[in-house]
Structure 1
Amino acid sequence: MTINIILLFLGTILAFWISAICGGGASLILIPILNLLLPSSVVPFSLTIGTFTSSVSRIAVFKKHINWQIFFWFVPFSIPAVLLGAWLIKYINPNYLQLIVAFFLIINLPELFKSKKSEVKTEKAYPKFMLIIIGFCAGFISGITGAIGLLFNRFYLRFGLKKEEIVATRAANEVFLHLIKLIIYISLGLYSNTALWLGLTIAVATIISSYTVKYILPYLSEFLFKKIGYGAMVISGIMLMVGTSEKIIQQDKISFSTTHHSHETESVISWRRTDFIVEFAFDDGFEVERPIKADELPQHLKEKYENLKPHYDKIHLEKVFTFRKEPAYEFYCYKNGQLTKFEV
């Protein structure tokens, strides 16, 4: 654990340097690392200790650059959303939301290849009311994953903020969210001693990072600042997608298999002990089959099932979905090792 803490400490300083240069993203860099050290449910708590400390220290360093107009539009709508997100963390798997976040980060890839001229021509500032939507979405996602990071950096860039203003305004917008999240996570029991120590390690590293990065920012042009920001979004998205996908596959026991017959190809996708069968035949096209229980059958087929049941050792049921057709049902009836199939 000592080696992990040292590596996390050094990695956090580097991550928050990159975060300040890019206008955000340290949280999304640290999530895959914390996922290796902690259960998913307590990662947001550990991460939030660090991001709260980072926001406070950045406000202290860059307070004169805060855009208060954006602050007063953003914060009132983000607070109820973060309450909702933090409450839902007990009921939904945060890994799936992290996967969606990763996708939205990766779609920033085309921004990396835009020239300075094209950016000036194509980018228009968002209207102020967009801050209501951004604030709500940022609060909700932050409440579940513990991070906002680079996901909303694009919006700050489109509002025409300079690099120091982005760093300062983001910190001011998010400091209240992080404090509320910490209170909620503790009240819901979504923490552990290990998560606390790792969070404190991140906190100390963020303070060092915030007070040293002010010597780096003046050497970056606004154009380079934006390009680094978009690049960090894409890289963080790829890292998050790979790490989260592996965790989802392990947790939900996802597997794929394919078999080829003379006139059809059948692929089986297993997820949480449920098999989804994707079948392609030249005469019928694509079909998706899902195993079901008897109580999921329509009433007239329940009667058929009850009539068949005494005559067979076991009966497996599948619901078949075909494009532009009503769902069909298949009965796989076994008697003394012999299979009889009924399609209705």
Structure 2
Amino acid sequence: MIVLLFVIALLAFSLSTVSGGGAGLIVMPVLGMLLAPEQIPAALSLGTAVSSATRIATFFRAINWRVVCYFVPASLPGAWLGVWMLSLMQPVYLDLLLGLFLLGNLPLLLRRKKPGTATPPQTAENTVAPPAVSMRFLPVIGLLAGFISGFTGAVGLLFNAFYHRLGLRKEAIIATRAANDILLHLTKIGLYAAYGLLNQQVLLAGAVVALAGVAATLLVRFWLHLVNEEVFRSIGHAAACAAGAAMLVMAGQQVIRQDHVHTTLNATHSVVSASMGWRTHIYSVAFEPNREIELKHTHPAFNTGRVPGQRGYWYRASVLHVSMKRGIYITRGLSHTIKT
């Protein structure tokens, strides 16, 4: 698994260098096989911090320090809030939302470029184009990036569109992102240690990710100039979609496992019903033969195991009826299930 982690991290950081970010989101599913969910952000931060330092040293002259000054001060309190939230709860449902957000890059990936538009040639003097958005939004972006990064360990490609809309070219995006992230990751590492989220296994995984990140940056620097701006953005959108799909699969499996999610489908000659269980709740829909739809929610009311002569649970059910004959109405009741 350590070798697999290194190979995936090397490919992810190589792709990240030519897409402006996203390595952490791609590595997360592999780290999920090695670490507990609450330890993944700490390992990612260790590896990404070292990778960011390498990118700063490699592309130092392309850093836009004005963006850094607007971004970093707001990202640090956001990171503290995210790490504090991580110490209280698992980030699995946020991962689901982030996965859906990243899949929103699919239309951008499939969108065709309008005829007659061309990307301006990049030169040493053309690392920054006229900004399309105001700098005053950067503190808000920094706060959100810090919170999500502290809670999940990676922000990756979530805010890449804002860097593009600021008019930054590829080297400037890579360097400025690294400068924004380095202090953020170092702050998070200190917070993870303070909350007891660092151990020997996390340090080992973080070291493997860091080594892969350094190797990827040193390899890619020699051919990054061959990638034009349009391809750079397309690779970024593709990486975002791949990371989003991976996050959805990983988080979905974790939700199914920890929250006991299950589904059933029953069909007879008169009734068709489907139900989904989540934790102790059951949500179901049934199509009755008398042109009526029933939406039902059931959950345990109390355990009768300690009551003499009774076994099992009493369940409280609420049913919303939508009928062509009787209109819309609600019924409630209790049902008893024998415990075997």
TM (norm. structure 2) is: 0.85
2:298 and 2:219 mapped to 1: Cα distance? 56
SS at match of 2:202: helix
Partner of 2:334: 331
Identity in percent? 36
Compare 255-264 and 153-162 and name the one that shifted more.
Answer: 255-264
Query: Can you give the 5+ residue segments of structure 2 that lack an aligned partner in the other structure?
Result: 119-130
1:127 and 1:81 mapped to 2: Cα distance? 21
Equivalent position to 1:18, from 8, 15, 18: 15
1:119 and 1:53 mapped to 2: Cα distance? 42
List per-residue Cα deviations over 1:33-64 (Å, max 9, x = no partner): 00011111111111110001111111111111
Equivalent position to 1:81, from 59, 72, 78: 78
Amino acid at match of 2:155: I
2:50 and 2:261 mapped to 1: Cα distance? 38
**1:70 maps to 2:78:** no
Equivalent position to 2:293, from 268, 285, 293: 285
2:24 and 2:168 mapped to 1: Cα distance? 21
Amino acid at match of 1:216: W
Deviation at 1:327, TM superposition (A): 5.2
Deviation at 1:273, TM superposition (A): 3.2
Partner of 1:203: 210
Contact 2:280 / 2:299 at 8 angstroms: preserved in 1?
Answer: no
Deviation at 1:130, TM superposition (A): 2.4
1:118 and 1:78 mapped to 2: Cα distance? 39
**1:318 maps to 2:317:** yes
Equivalent position to 1:131, from 110, 131, 138: 138
1:1-344 alignment runs, 5 A limit: 4-117=1-114, 125-281=132-288, 283-293=291-301, 315-321=314-320, 328-332=331-335
Contact 2:283 / 2:295 at 8 angstroms: preserved in 1?
Answer: no
SS at match of 1:89: helix
2:86 and 2:116 mapped to 1: Cα distance? 38
2:53 and 2:116 mapped to 1: Cα distance? 32
Change (3 A) 1:120 1:88: farther
List per-residue Cα deviations over 1:87-146 (Å, max 9, x = no partner): 00122221211111110111111111223337969xx92232322221111111101110
Amino acid at match of 2:188: K
Deviation at 1:262, TM superposition (A): 4.8
Structure with the bigger percentage of helix = 1
Deviation at 1:30, TM superposition (A): 0.3
1:32 and 1:284 mapped to 2: Cα distance? 44
Contact 1:116 / 1:223 at 8 angstroms: preserved in 2?
Answer: no
List per-residue Cα deviations over 1:55-87 (Å, max 9, x = no partner): 111111111111112111111211111110100
SS at match of 2:87: coil
Compare 53-62 and 270-279 and name the one that shifted more.
Answer: 270-279
1:333 and 1:106 mapped to 2: Cα distance? 44
